[in-house]
Amino acid sequence: MDGSDPGNKGYSDYIVYVDESGDHSVTSIDESYPIFVLAFCVFYKKHYWEKVVRSIQRFKFQHFGHDVIVLHEHDIRKETGPFKFKDKAEKQQFLDRLTMEIVDNNFILISCVIDKKRLQPKQIDNAYHIALKLCLESLNALLIEKNQNTRKTHIVVECRGNKEDKDLELEFLRVCGGDNSTNSTYPFQLLFADKKVNSAGLQLADLVARPIGLKTLRPDNQNRAFEVLEKKFFCSGGREKLGEGIHGWGIKVYPPQKSEKPR
């Protein structure tokens, strides 16, 4: 499968959509969810435009009669806005179909979980920034594996506010400029998207972030959503061993857990 375009001006064959779960503040800690999660969904562009976008649109037409609706994990979970179900059976049917959308559409998942309760005083001042750095390092490793590391890769994030966006852009440029584990220059470009943008990639990123956080927070609890994601994580085992060796690769926890081997 060849997704390259001879007129692509040096763009890579991959695009990345980003979303988060939890509060990035390290001083404001929600005892029921004391973590921050950043999730990168990495799509092969040809697969994305030929299958993913069409599949998500078809799902929306089947359930809502139109494709203008934006899928938000929080709204679905809380049954707010257009996600008001007449009973549990209808909600479960919707969730089952949505789960199959995640199963059937291919993407590579890179994530970082910041455990705010385990941080030492003044260890970091912004959970988003350290998570971004760790995810960008994993993304660079993935693109080296795909022979795409010399081509420009776009990374799409949602706008969060003027100050937050400026701070994020400065941090992004600092990491891509060489302040990373290998002192490498990353050929990445950050794109800010309005929250109302109806992007299939951003919506999938929104749906996967919380299950990763819940699995890290309560690893022994049943987490069907995470089980669905497990074989999508960037891993050390390659395509032959999907779902194995994901810690330290597709999932990074900061501060590192004892079971997570740094690389």
Return the closest-CA partner of residue 38 out of 118, 162, 126.
126
Asked if residue 262 belongs to a domain, the reply is no
Q: What is the pLDDT of residues 36-57, one digit of tens each?
A: 999 999 999 999 999 999 999 9
Domain that holds residue 100: 11-254
Cβ–Cβ < 8 Å for 171, 131:
no
Asked if residue 112 belongs to a domain, the reply is yes
Tell me the CA distances in angstroms from 160 to 60, 84, 140, 151, 154, one per residue in order.
Answer: 26, 26, 25, 27, 18
Residue 98 resides in a domain: yes
Note the pLDDT tens digit of each residue in 232-253: 999 976 665 666 789 899 999 9
Per residue in 113-128, is it b (16+ CB within 10 Å) or e — as a string?
Answer: bbbbeebeeeebebbb
> What is the DSSP pairing of strand 11-21 with strand 108-115?
unpaired
Token pair belonging to 34: 């004391």
The pLDDT assigned to 1 comes to: 42
* C-beta separation of 132 from 171 below 8 A: yes
The CATH number of the domain where 85 resides is what? 3.30.420.10
Flag whether 3 is in a domain.
no
The two three-digit tokens of residue 27, written as one number: 């001083």
Question: Could you tell me if residue 108 is inside a domain?
Answer: yes
pLDDT of residue 237: 63
Residue with tokens 């709204």: 75
| Amino acid letter, 169 | E
Bridge partners, 188 (sequence order): 153
Q: At what angle do helices 162-176 and 127-145 cross, to 10 degrees?
A: 40
DSSP state, 216?
H
Contact 99, 240 (CB under 8 A): no
Residue 259 domain-assigned? no
pLDDT value at residue 262: 45
Cis bond before residue 255 (omega within 30° of 0): yes
260 belongs to a structural domain: no
In the block, which residue shows the tokens 């609890």? 221
Distance CA 251, CA 262 (A): 11
Domain count, the chain: 1
Q: Are 36 and 24 in contact (CB under 8 A)?
A: yes
- Which of 242, 250, 203 shows the shortest CA–CA distance to 48? 203
Asked, for residue 4, whether it belongs to a domain, the answer is no
Q: Would you state the pLDDT for residue 121?
A: 73
Which regions in the chain score pLDDT beneath 70? Answer: 1-8, 237-243, 258-263
Query: What is the strand order of the sheet 11-21 is part of?
Result: 188-193, 152-158, 11-21, 35-44, 108-115, 251-254
